[in-house]
Structure 1
Amino acid sequence: MATNLALDPSLIERAVEVSGEPSKKAAVTLALKEFIARREQRRIAELLGQLEWDESFDHKAERSRK
């Protein structure tokens, strides 16, 4: 999909430098993937303390299950 975006050239050049990617497209693609992963991780972290744990669950027993 072709997309035209007006991006800050200094940010793009810095992204290429920091990422080590060979092209602007590769650097932007990597940046978007990392942005998405970080946001998804944040949503998971927000669940911390909100889940009810089953105290009777034995995770060690599950490891030895065959």
Structure 2
Amino acid sequence: MRTNIVLDDKLVEEAFRLSNAKTKRELIQLALEEYVDNRKRKNLMDLKGKIQFADDYDYKSMREGI
């Protein structure tokens, strides 16, 4: 999708310093991917305390194969 936007120059410069992006397009793509990943993670955090596990559930035994 092609679009024109006005970006804060100082923010763009700082983002370039903190990333490996070579172009503004690459920088924006990376920023959008990180934003989406972060929001998904926050949505999972909303589930805290809402999931009940079986009394005999042993997460440690499942990790032994790793």
TM-score using structure 2 length: 0.77
Spell out, residue by residue over 1:14-57, the C-alpha distance to the aligned partner (whole angstroms, 9 max, x if none).
11111121111111110110011011001101101111212244
1:23 counterpart residue number: 23
Return 5+ residue gaps in structure 2 as ranges. none
Q: Aligned residues, how many?
A: 63
- 1:39 & 1:9 partners in 2: Cα distance? 25
CA contact (8 A) 1:16 1:27 kept: yes
- 1:41-60 matches, cutoff 5 A: 41-57=41-57, 60=61
